[in-house]
Amino acid sequence: MEKPAIAGGTPVRDTKLYYGHQFVDQADVKAVEEVLTSDYLTCGPKVEALEQKLCALTGAAYAVACSNGTAALHIAAMAAGVGAGDELVTTPITFAASANCALYCGARPVFADINPNTYNISPESVRKNLSEKTKAVVAVDFTGQAVPLEELLELCHENGLVLIEDGAHSIGTKYKGRPVGSIADMTTFSFHPVKTVTGGEGGAVLTNRKNLYEKLLLCRSHGITKDAPQYVHESHGPWYHEQIDLGYNYRITDIQCALILSQLDKLGQFAERRREIVNRYNEAFSQIPQLFVQQEIPESDTTRHLYILRIKPELLTIDRKGFFEAMAAENICCNVHYIPVYWHPYYERLGYPKGLCPNAEKLYMEMMSLPIYYSLTDQDVEDVIMAVRKIVAYYQK
């Protein structure tokens, strides 16, 4: 007889546990309140303060704060010179924005496969996917673990390409002792509420290169400059400014920046708790033969954003969908990060076939994201582990 869709019995928990949640304390509330009664709601001192704090945190020379991580990727691609007819290589195991930034510029995203153990983009696959048209590589620190930055930088620079590190998951991570943000040509961050540090919405691009910084500033604000040496014409007076290129309104408010600044004060404790949760999950799941544990990258001192549970379907009588539903029946609400970008109908219509990146597609069929966030209690973590054990025990072959 077929086994039922859930492991049955009393659920491990009687309240629902979600895969991510922001942590906002009184210091955050106070920081936002102060801005609300100040002179500036946007384009004020908090924007510059955030940019300075991001530089201090990462060691990058320049930071440009902007409205969200997607805008950050867009202006990074523009600053990299990605334009009509160009190609940009990225991973399919990411949020669509990492590839969409190429489309926004009139370029074509090209998908390189992932390393089957770390799930980050594979430099060998990047190399195979380079062409005369390639202008940039967007490498995503998936789950927070840094991509092989030295290898990718060498690969990019020997081919005249710009390396954009999508650090939406990896604020606080260090690669070989150096913080992400100071290593790639440009690094982007996101401050969406499920990320380690939030501003409600928000983003930033970090770079050490002044020429890229200047382009990023223009792209963020309509292509308008108030920097006299950049003027084409003579200034008309103190109010003068010029639009010298086409940019966007990707500004971030002082309200958001105040929240992000206050959240950054807690980055150390956020990172620590996330690390504890990863260690506990890894310890528990590495003893279960029906599961595959994501390889920890030794060069990466990681602030973890996501925890991926990967099943070995050949050792179970259910597939990922069944496992996901069984977890929900235990009141553990997982998520899946990510559907391979080129599987989305929009990309299908652009002509991307299935089968492009076999490692990425196999991972997608076997994975789900477990709860991980700062305020998850030890009991919550044990509940997740108990639910996983219960489901594996029930459905093992």
Ligand X SMILES: Cc1ncc(COP(=O)(O)O)c(C=O)c1O
Q: Which residues bind ligand X (CB under 6 A)?
A: 68-70, 94-95, 97-98, 140, 166, 168-169, 190, 192, 203
Residue appearing with tokens 């690669």: 175
Min dist CB 304 to ligand X, Å, is 13
Q: Which residue is nearest to ligand X (CB)?
A: 69
Q: Smallest distance from the beta carbon of 141 to ligand X, in angstroms?
A: 8
Nearest-approach distance from CB 190 to ligand X, in angstroms: 3
What is the smallest separation between the CB atom of 306 and ligand X, expressed in angstroms? 9
Q: Residue 33 gets which letter from DSSP?
A: H
Burial of 234 (0-12, 13-18, 19+ CB in 10 A): exposed
58 vs 225, which CB is nearer to ligand X? 58
What strands, in cross-sheet order, belong to the sheet with 62-66?
62-66, 203-207, 186-190, 162-166, 134-140, 87-90, 108-111
The least distance separating ligand X from the CB of residue 24, rounded to whole angstroms, comes to 17
In whole angstroms, how close is the CB of 226 to ligand X at the nearest point? 27
Contact 261/50 with Cβ under 8 angstroms?
yes
Q: 286: closest CA among 305, 312, 267, 306?
A: 312
Q: Report CA dihedral (240, 245, 248, 250) to the nearest 10 degrees.
A: -70
**Cα separation, 116 vs 357, whole angstroms:** 11
Which pairing describes strands 134-140 and 162-166: parallel, antiparallel, or unpaired? Answer: parallel
Between 231 and 374, whose beta carbon lies closer to ligand X? 374
In the complex, what is the shortest distance from the CB of residue 96 to ligand X, in angstroms, rounded to a whole number? 8
Nearer to ligand X, 231 or 343 (CB): 343
95 vs 213 by CB, closer to ligand X: 95
Nearer to ligand X, 185 or 330 (CB): 185
**Residue among 137, 93, 86, 134 nearest 117 (CA):** 93
Report d(CA 313, CA 316) in Å as an integer: 5
C-beta closer to ligand X: residue 68 or 122:
68
Cβ distance to ligand X smaller for residue 7 or 357: 357
Alpha helices in the chain (DSSP H): 26-36, 45-58, 69-79, 97-104, 123-128, 149-158, 210-220, 254-264, 267-285, 320-329, 345-349, 358-366, 378-395
